[in-house]
Structures are given as structure tokens and as C-alpha cells.
A and B are shown apart, each in its own frame.
Chain A
Amino acid sequence: MLDSLKSFLDGSVSGTPGQLNNQVWALIYVLIIFAGVSVAVIAMNWLERKALAHFQVRLGPMRVGPHGLLQPIADAVKLLIKEDIIPAESDKFVFWIAPLIGLLAAFTVYTVVPFGPSQAVSDMNIGILFMLGVSSLAVLGIVMAGWASNSHYPLIGALRSSAQMVSYEVAMGLAVISAILMTSLHGTGLYGVSSLGDGTGTLSMIGIVQAQQEQHVWFLFKFFPLGLIAFVIFAIAMVAETNRAPFDLPEAESELTAGFHTEYSGLRWSLFMLAEYAAMIAVSSIAVTLWLGGWLRPFPNLLSGATWDFIFALFPGLTFLALGAIALLGTVRMPKHPYFKIQTIGLAAFGVVLAGIGVLLLAVPIAAKVSNQSILSRSTEALMNVYWFVAKVAVFMYLYIWYRATWPRYRFDQLMKVGWKVMLPISLGALILTAIVGVLLG
């Protein structure tokens, strides 16, 4: 067992734990990802409340911890100790299992999310298919929750949700196919024909990113604007897929009070929320992988070489340093009243921790450059991959919040109309054109 641990670390082999059949590392990866996603959901929770508040000229959580930093923890504790209500007339078993299915589907997807060329639990050769399949199971949880509650509002919410998810999955799938198609096609649109890449298509998540690297183009820009169209279709469909504003009809609070989870409370309700945010991150990961070059840093080919690698490797550390600086700036701007003393200290400590992480992240690439040890350079690379992937996903997360603050909600029939009459034809057209252009240029 130690061997298997070591062989992975010292760089003698490379690949995902799944490929290497290394169960121990697979387990460690799963745990890391589970913890990471949970933390990301908590962070997203805080960030959403804060950002939304600032969109809406208010402050958001300010009381629990400095600038409400501990609010998610307080919320989690509250939800855990809240009374768990199961309606008397509900279908107990289905009611009980529904949130679990949603959560399971949302988290299973992460087994194939490639945070780097070897930073994924497994690299299935049907990766993207697996992802779409498992995330389509999430709707089962919602439908079951709505039905099991045995109440009208949840039932309507569940009906809306199933119709919505099934219809948007079609457009989403077609957009995905046109990205997959690009893995096998030469030619980079605006940049003319090129013979980069080996020309074999792949469904593997890692393979798709590698194809983008080999072809020297993010699929977003390939066959411009065809890649862009497919991406936009996907970006819209994924919002509908995760039931977020402006497509949050299944839980439209002004119409259906809370939609499918009206009858849920406490821990079960929080499982739904966890699943929703996890699913948001998951679909954003798909979008990043398929169109935005996954873990690739900007211009991996144009600005290649050890120097550029080193410069880009400094980004993670610098980001954390900047976050730390913001926190410390907040500390300085805290009111001087003794009432805020503990908060000020807390914020300062938080800033110091962030800055410390930043320094650590800066130290790794610098040490790697100086000492030239393989393990250090390997971890620098892993760091960079994960950093760029997470940074790209974070952009999507911010977009989710932005949408929610800006747009009113669609009506059900309009949503279906957009799905079937606008998105589906466009994505189908984009797919066909991609194939034609690819054949003509290839």
C-alpha cells in the first residue's frame, strides 16, 4: 500500500488513479474532492449572499463573524438542529430518499471532473456521457420529493422541474456533441487550417482538454462563431438544468412558495441546497472543460517555456495574497469601537491565514525553480492546473449570482418555448455547421 502511495507521488507514473488502478489514491482523491466541494458550496453560500446584497444596495450578513464570514457555519448548525418535519400524509420512504438521490447524483459527477491531467478520480473514456447521465438523474430526486410531499405546490414544482430538465437536456446534449465533434476535427476557424491534433475524437474529459491543447485553441473560439454559439447554448441550458434564476421555476418562491422542497425542513432541506450548489459547480466544470480549456492556463502554447511557466505558477499565490490584502484592508477599516474588537481580530487572523496560504503557494514554485526537485515541480504543476480550473469555474459561479440579481423569472410556457423553439434548432444548426465546416477545412 505504501508502494502505491509512493509511486504516485514521486512521479514515476502519471495518470489518474482510475487509470493506474490505484484504489488508495482514488479514495484519497474522492475524499479531497468531497471536502473541497463542500467547502466550495459553503463559500459560495456566503459569496452569493454577500454579492447579491451588494447588487441590491444592502450589506448582507454582517453579524456572525467579521463581515458575516461565519454565517454559513451558523446556518449549517441551525439547519442541523432544526426539527425534521415529515408530513403525516407523505410517502415516508420516498420522502426520505429523495434528497439523497439528488445529492448522490450531484457528487458522483465529480469522479470524472478533470482538475488536471492526472488530477481526476478516473478518466473514463465515456467521461462526458457519464457526467450528463448522472446529472440527469438529479431530476429524479426533485420529482420524488415533489410527489412524496403529497401537497399541491411541491407537485407542481416537481412537474415543472421534470419538464424543464428533460427539455433543456436535449439542447444541452446537442451543444456538448458539437464540442465533442471538435476534438476530432482539424482547422481552427479564423486561424485557418492546421494539422494540429491527432484527429481522433474522444468522450474522455481529460482527452477533450488535451485535444484543445493539441489544437492550440479553446473550443470556445474554434470555428468562430460556431464554438461560441454552442457554448452560449450550453451556458443557458446549464442554468435551466440547475434550476437557477431566471429559470428557477420549480422553486419560484413567489408562485409556489418554495416549489418541490416546500415541505422539507432542517437537514433534508439543506441536502437539497447542497445538491443544488454542487450541481451548479459540476455543470460549470463541464462548461469549463469543454469550451474553456479546462485546467490549461492562458496561452499554454504561445507563451510556453520554463520562464512563462514560472510566471503563471505565481498566480495562485498572488491571488491568495490579494485576498489576504483585502481582508487586512477590511481590518483597517473596521470601526474602532471596542464592540468590534473580536471581529477585528478575527478578520485580521483571517487575512493573515489567507496571506500565509499565499506565501506558501508562492514558495512552492520558487522552491521548485531553485532546487529543481521533481516532486516540487510536480506539485507546482498540479497547483497550477487546479488553480486555473477553479478560477474558470469561479467565473461561472459569479455569473450565476449576477443572473439572479438581474433578471425576472420566465413563465413556464415561455421557458418551454425558448427550450424547444429557440435553443434546440440553434444547437442543432450549430452542430451540423460544425460538422460541415470541419469536413471542409479538414
Chain B
Amino acid sequence: MTDPNTISPLDLETPERPYLDSNELIINMGPQHPATHGVLRVILKLDGEKVLGTECVIGYLHRGVEKIAENRTYTMFNPYVDRMDYVAAVSNGLGYCQAVEKLLAVEAPPRANYMRVILTELNRIASHQLWLGTHALDIGAMTPLFYTFRDREEILKIFEKYCGARLTTHAFRIGGLQYETYAGFEKDVKNFVDFVKPKIDEYEELLTGNRIWIERTKNVGVISARDAIALGVTGPVLRASGVKWDIRRAQPYANYADFDFEIPIGENGDTYDRYIVRMIEMRQSLRIIEQAVAGIPEGPIMAKVPKVIKPAVGEIYHSIEAPKGELGYFIVSDGSTQPYRVRVRPPSFVNLQALDIMVRGMLVADVVAVIGTLDIVLGEVDR
């Protein structure tokens, strides 16, 4: 294992072994490639099929979200965050709203918090389902993709019924929620939980015990806990390396402290462990949703927030456990209606950095598997 601190940038000019370069290839994987989940370009230096090193070229989807934030009011910027990690838009919104709430020193009412937890956990399941489908497809199993998309549809239906949007939901407002739940929301969510439980078993049946799946994922893309921490890797990737750390538990936000759930961890930090961790996380999310739906209180859904949001001069960092890892917002206020600076700490961006040491010495097919298992969304990497 290469030491992540001293890993050298990829030298594309000179071959590693100048006189035996018979099969040293440099391949551009992407930006148009079926397995890079968007417009990621990975420059691979190969010895035959063995990966000598990689370099990620990103930014194809850069839209300048942080710059936009400086030119919008706090409220106006809220929908933009949905466009970063567009498969987990609800989590993005939660992080941003809570960060601004912290800056304003207001607290969302309990009913809003319960709703927020239900929706973010639903979103976590949706994100993991999308990850599972595409990851399995990368490894060559076509069928799980369609199963997961079929079941993810049910979550999107709930979102649509609640706020009218399916993907970029803009579900939360600063201070709470805009909409009260629709009639039958609790029933829909309960039905969904009952519906999806056997479906998760079905995914596992297709993959977990499959010999080829195990061979393709065990000991592939291993990252030790030490390296993972050094590289700032978070989320399921970090937990699969054996670090029991989840912001929902370590520094609870919303009202996660009220719920009983477990944090799954892996042992080897390989692709298989990450797969298992995410599968268990889906089940734990269902547990949280069940508890939240059962305990949802009546009451207001919006805290007292001034019409014009003008936080005092100061700065705040708030982070939540997004499906992909630690999603942080660092907001600097200069006392005006527009944030002076919004910095987004994107989990995908930081996790992608680990790709290089995870695939060195592996084969081309493993690069694809590892990109899949990192669960990156290019909208978030490039912002």
C-alpha cells in the first residue's frame, strides 16, 4: 500500500521501465465512458491491464455554485444546493437549511424535524438504491439496476406527492418546512417500508452470495482505516474500513438523537464491505423511518424566522451525514441578506481523491468497480 501522503502525481511522459515498455498504455477513461457515472475523466497508466497510477480530471460539470451563492439571498440559494448531489437532494437541503438556522440561532420545531428525518432517510435509501443498481451494472450484473429503479420510484412518488418534485425536491425551508404533510403521508411511508423490506432481501439474494460478485468485490479497492482518515474519506467508505463514525450519532443534528439505530462497520475496507455496509444502512434507515413515523408529533412546522434573513456577522460550519459522507456547509455572513461566502464540503469530491491509492496495482476492471463503490456524483464533485 502506497503512503497516501507521499503519493506522487502521475508522470504521463516517461514510462516506468523505459526499456521494457512493450505494453505500457495510457488510457483516457472518460469523460464519455459508460462507467464513470457522468463526466469524470480518469487517466489510467496501465502495464498491460495492471494499473500503475491514475489521475482524475474533473470539473466538466462545474457550475460555480459557491459563486452563485454570493450573489443570491439566503432563501434564493436554497434550491441551488439540490443541484449538487442531485440523487440526494433532500440531504443537501437539510444541511444548508440547518447551517443557516444555526447562523440565525433558530431551531426548527419538532414536527418539522421529524419530517426532515423521514424525508432524508427516504432519500438515503433512494441514493443507496441508485448506487447499488449502477454499481452492480458496472460489475456486469444488469438486472439489479432495474429492480432498484423500480423500488426507488416509490420513494420518488412520495416526494412528488409531498412537494411536487421528484429529484430536486427543495423540500425544506430555512426554519422548518413550507408544506404540511398531505393526507395519507404516514400511511404511504409505512406502506413503503413494508414494501421495500423484502425488496432489499431480493437485491441481496441476487448479489450477496453470488460467487462472481464476491470474487469481484472482495479485496478489491482496499483502503485501511488509517489511510481513509488521512484522506478525509467519510460516509460508508470510511465505515467499511472499520471506523465507527456517523455524524448522526457523533454530533446529532435534527432529532437523530431520539432514534435507535445501529451504525454498521466493515472489517477489511474492501468493495464487498462497502456493499454490505450500505445494504445494512438501508435497513437501518428503514428502522429510523418506522420510529419517526410512529412518533411524529403534532405542532407547527415553521419556526419564527424573519421575513428577510439577515444573520449577524459571523461564520458557521455545519455538517450532516449525507448518503455519501460528510456534507458540510461553511457560511460566512457579513450581515447582509446575501451570504458573503458559502463553502460546500462535498463528500464525493474528497472521497474521489482516494481512488488513486485504492486502484494502484489493481486491474482495469477494478477501477470501474472502485469508482462505483466510492459512490460519487459528478454534480457534487464539480459543483
Q: Which A residues are closer than 8 A to B by beta carbons?
A: 52, 55-58, 152-153, 155-156, 159-160, 245-246, 248-249, 252-257, 404-414
Query: Inside 8 A of B48's CB, which chain A residues have their CB?
Result: 159
In the complex, identify which listed stretch (B4-12, B79-87, B208-216) lies at the interface while the others stay far away.
B208-216
Chain A residues whose C-beta falls within 8 Å of the C-beta of B136 in the assembled complex: 408
B174 to chain A, nearest CB (A): 40
Among B139, B143, B210, B366, point to the contact of A405 (Cβ < 8 A): B143
B363 near A413: Cβ-Cβ < 8 Å: yes
**Per a CB cutoff under 8 Å, which of A55, A153, A246, A404 touches B212?**
A246
Residues of B near A55 (CB, < 8 A) are 143
By beta carbon, the residue of chain B nearest A53 is B146
Q: Which residues of B contact A256 (CB under 8 A)?
A: 364
CB-based contact B139/A409 at 8 Å: yes
What would 18 A/B residue contacts be, using CB atoms closer than 8 Å?
Answer: A55-B143, A56-B143, A56-B146, A58-B146, A152-B25, A156-B25, A252-B140, A254-B138, A254-B139, A255-B364, A255-B365, A257-B33, A407-B140, A407-B212, A408-B140, A409-B141, A411-B216, A414-B216
Residues of B within 8 A of A (CB): 25, 27, 33-35, 48-49, 136-143, 145-147, 150, 206-207, 210, 212-213, 215-216, 363-368
Contacts of B150 in A (CB 8 A): 57
A-B contact count (CB 8 A): 85
- Contact call B215/A411, Cβ cutoff below 8 A: yes
A260 to chain B, nearest CB (A): 15
The listed residue (B137, B143, B207) touching A254 by CB distance below 8 A is B137
Distance, CA A55 to CA B48, complexed state (A): 36
| Least CB separation from B139: chain A residue | A408
> Whose C-beta in chain A lies nearest to the C-beta of B215?
A414
Whether A411 contacts B363 by the Cβ 8 Å rule is yes
Please provide the 3 A-B residue pairs with the shortest distance between their CB atoms, ordered closest to farther. A409-B140, A56-B146, A408-B141
Given contacts A56-B143, A245-B140, A246-B212, whether A156 and B364 have CB atoms under 8 Å apart is: yes
Q: Which residues of chain A come closer than 8 Å to B137, judged between CB atoms?
A: 254
Closest to A256 in B: B364
Given A56-B147, A57-B147, A156-B364, 8 more contacts at CB 8 Å?
A: A55-B143, A57-B146, A405-B142, A408-B141, A408-B210, A409-B140, A409-B365, A412-B365
A-side contacts of B212, CB under 8 Å? 246, 407-410, 414
Chain A residues, Cβ within 8 Å of B365: 249, 252, 255, 409, 411-412
Q: How far is the CB of A146 from chain B (nearest CB, A)?
A: 13
User: Would B49 and A412 count as touching, CB distance under 8 A?
Assistant: yes
- Residue among B27, B139, B146, B365 with the highest chain A CB neighbour number at 10 A: B365
- The residues of A that contact B367 with a CB separation of less than 8 Å are 255
Q: Tell me the complex Cα distance, A375–B3, Å.
A: 81
Question: Are B140 and A56 in touch, CB under 8 angstroms?
Answer: no
Min distance, Cβ B36 to any Cβ of chain A, angstroms: 10
- In angstroms, Cα B147 to Cα A406, docked, is 12
Q: How far is the CB of B204 from chain A (nearest CB, A)?
A: 14
* Interchain CA distance A245-B143 in the complex, whole Å: 13
Q: Which residue of B lies closest to A414 (CB)?
A: B215
Given A57-B147, A252-B140, does the pair A411, B34 have CB atoms closer than 8 Å?
no
What are the residues of chain B within 8 A of A246 when measuring CB–CB? 140, 212
For residue B147, which residues in chain A have a CB less than 8 angstroms away from its CB?
56-57
Q: Tell me, rounded to whole Å, the shortest Cβ–Cβ distance linking B207 to chain A.
A: 8
Complex Cα–Cα for A60 and B378 (A): 30
Q: A57-B150, A156-B49 are in contact. Are A411 and B366 (CB under 8 A)?
A: yes
Chain A residues with Cβ below 8 Å from B140 are 245-246, 248, 252, 254, 407-410
A126 → chain B closest CB, angstroms = 36
In the complex, which residues of chain A have a beta carbon less than 8 angstroms from the beta carbon of B25? 152, 155-156
Q: Which residues of B contact A404 (CB under 8 A)?
A: 142
- Nearest Cβ on chain A to B211's Cβ, whole angstroms: 9
Contacts of A56 in B (CB 8 A): 142-143, 145-147
What's the nearest-Cβ distance from chain B to residue A262, in Å? 11
B288 to chain A minimum Cβ distance, whole angstroms, is 28
A413 to B364, CA, bound (A): 11
Contact B141–A253 (Cβ < 8 Å): no
Minimum CB distance partner of B367 in chain A: A255
Question: Looking across the interface, which residue of chain A has its beta carbon closest to that of B136?
Answer: A408
Specify which chain A residues have a CB less than 8 angstroms from the CB of B206 in the assembled complex: 406
Q: How far is B207's CA from A407's CA once the two chains are assembled, in angstroms?
A: 9
Q: Which residue of B lies closest to A246 (CB)?
A: B212
- How many whole Å from A107's CB to the nearest CB in chain B? 29
| Contact status B143-A406, CB under 8 Å | yes
Question: Please, how many angstroms separate the alpha-carbon atoms of A155 and B26 in the complex?
Answer: 12
* Residue of B35, B207, B367 with most partner-chain A CB within 10 A: B35
Query: B145: shortest Cβ distance to chain A, in Å?
Result: 8
Given the complex of chains A and B, what is the CA–CA distance between A33 and B274 in angstroms? 51
Instruction: Give the Cβ gap from A40 to chain B, nearest Cβ, in Å.
Output: 23
- Tell me whether A408 and B34 are in contact (CB under 8 A): no
State how many angstroms separate the Cβ of B44 from the closest Cβ of chain A: 9
Are B34 and A253 in contact, with the CB atoms below 8 A? yes
What is the distance, in angstroms, from B65's C-beta to the closest C-beta of chain A?
Answer: 29
- Chain B contacts of A253 at CB under 8 A? 34
Expressed in whole angstroms, the Cα–Cα distance for A408 and B137 within the complex equals 8
Question: With A and B bound together, what is the CA distance between A253 and B136 in angstroms?
Answer: 13
* Chain A: minimal CB distance from B23 (Å): 8
> For residue B146, which residues in chain A have a CB less than 8 angstroms away from its CB?
56-58
Give Cα distance in the complex from A253 to B134, angstroms: 13
The answer to whether B27 touches A153, judged by C-beta atoms less than 8 angstroms apart, is yes
Q: How far is the CB of A214 from chain B (nearest CB, A)?
A: 40
Q: In the complex, what residue of chain B is closest to A56 when comparing beta carbons?
A: B146
A407–B368 Cα distance when bound, in Å, is 17
A residues near B139, Cβ cutoff 8 Å: 254, 408-409
Q: For residue B136, give the distance in angstroms from its CB to the closest CB of chain A.
A: 7
Q: With the chains together, A55 CA to B143 CA distance in Å?
A: 7
Enumerate chain A residues within 8 angstroms of B207, measured Cβ to Cβ.
408
Give Cα A255 to B216, complex, Å: 13
